[in-house]
Amino acid sequence: MESGILIMNIIIMILVTDKVNGAWNYRRFGPDVWSKTYPQCAGNSQSPINIKTAFTIQKNFNPFNFTSNYNEEFNFTLSNDGHTMVVTYNGPKLLLNGADLNGNYQFVNFHLHWGPNENVGSEHQVNGIKYTGESHFVYEDFETHQIAVLAFLMKSQPYLINKKYKKIYDDEYLTTNQWYKYFDASQNLVQENDSVTIELNLPLLMGNNLIDFWRYNGSLTVPPCTENVILDCI
């Protein structure tokens, strides 16, 4: 299955400093010791995982469904939380259902995971290979408190013009342009708790492939490592 959002010629260098002395980080207080403070991080259904495609089972799902206002551009709040850049929203509910998800899931936030170079940024691996980055769109059914995460594996490659595939490149351009807005705004949020209002379009950020994905029951990939999370890796 070919997957991943294409981020053309974007170097992920967001000016956010991981909390060296915080309750958790990826340095001194890294994943190996998270469970000392957050017991669920030692659970049996932890994410991320290495997706071994030879051991996956193909299943057909109904399409994801989004509320009718989902395709609009809204004002979101982009914040530096000391670990990453988190995008939240306080407007009309943006709901997700379908794809065999039981209930209606409300958008909570999206955030980005990246690394020191374009080869090790993603949380998940596919057959032992990491991607440039990984964006998590987090949803919750507030009646059952079930969490669902759309995890987009992100690639980096040059943007090339090819008239034969103009529609594909146009779609990729729109997605890339949205991420440029995210990255440009992020570079000004250099201190923890810095925030700014930014206009974004969630479907464009996600790209146009919501059909092919790997699903499993896992957890949040950072503390508190809450389990029983539906992970769809796209």
Give the mean pLDDT of the chain. 86
Structural domain harbouring 140 = 5-233
Q: Find the CATH number of the domain harbouring 194.
A: 3.10.200.10
22 confidence band (pLDDT: 50, 70, 90): low
Strands of 18-132, DSSP E: 50-51, 64-66, 74-80, 85-88, 95-98, 101-114, 125-126, 129-130
Beta-bridged to residue 230, according to DSSP, are: 148, 217
- Range picked from 10-24, 25-39, 164-178 for highest mean pLDDT: 25-39
How far is residue 147 from each of residues 6, 37, 108, 136, measured CA to CA in Å? 26, 22, 10, 12
Provide the domain count of the chain.
Answer: 1
36 confidence band (pLDDT: 50, 70, 90): very high
Of residues 72 and 9, more confidently modeled: 72
Of residues 87 and 163, more confidently modeled: 87
What pLDDT, on the 0 to 100 scale, is given for residue 168?
Answer: 45
The percent of residues above 70 in pLDDT, for the chain, comes to: 84
How far is residue 220 from each of residues 41, 54, 77, 230, measured CA to CA in Å? 9, 24, 21, 9
Residue 234 has pLDDT above 60, yes or no: yes
CA gap 170, 193 in Å, rounded: 35
- Determine which helix (DSSP H) or strand (DSSP E) holds 136, and give its type and residue range: strand 133-141
How far is residue 163 from each of residues 54, 146, 208, 209, measured CA to CA in Å? 35, 44, 19, 21
The pTM score is: 0.88
What pLDDT, on the 0 to 100 scale, is given for residue 5?
Answer: 60
What pLDDT, on the 0 to 100 scale, is given for residue 111?
Answer: 96
Beta-bridged to residue 65, according to DSSP, are: 97
Residue 10 has pLDDT above 90, yes or no: no
Residue among 132, 149, 102, 128 at smallest CA distance from 5: 132
Which of left, alpha, beta for 129 (phi over 0: left; psi -120 to 50: alpha)?
A: beta
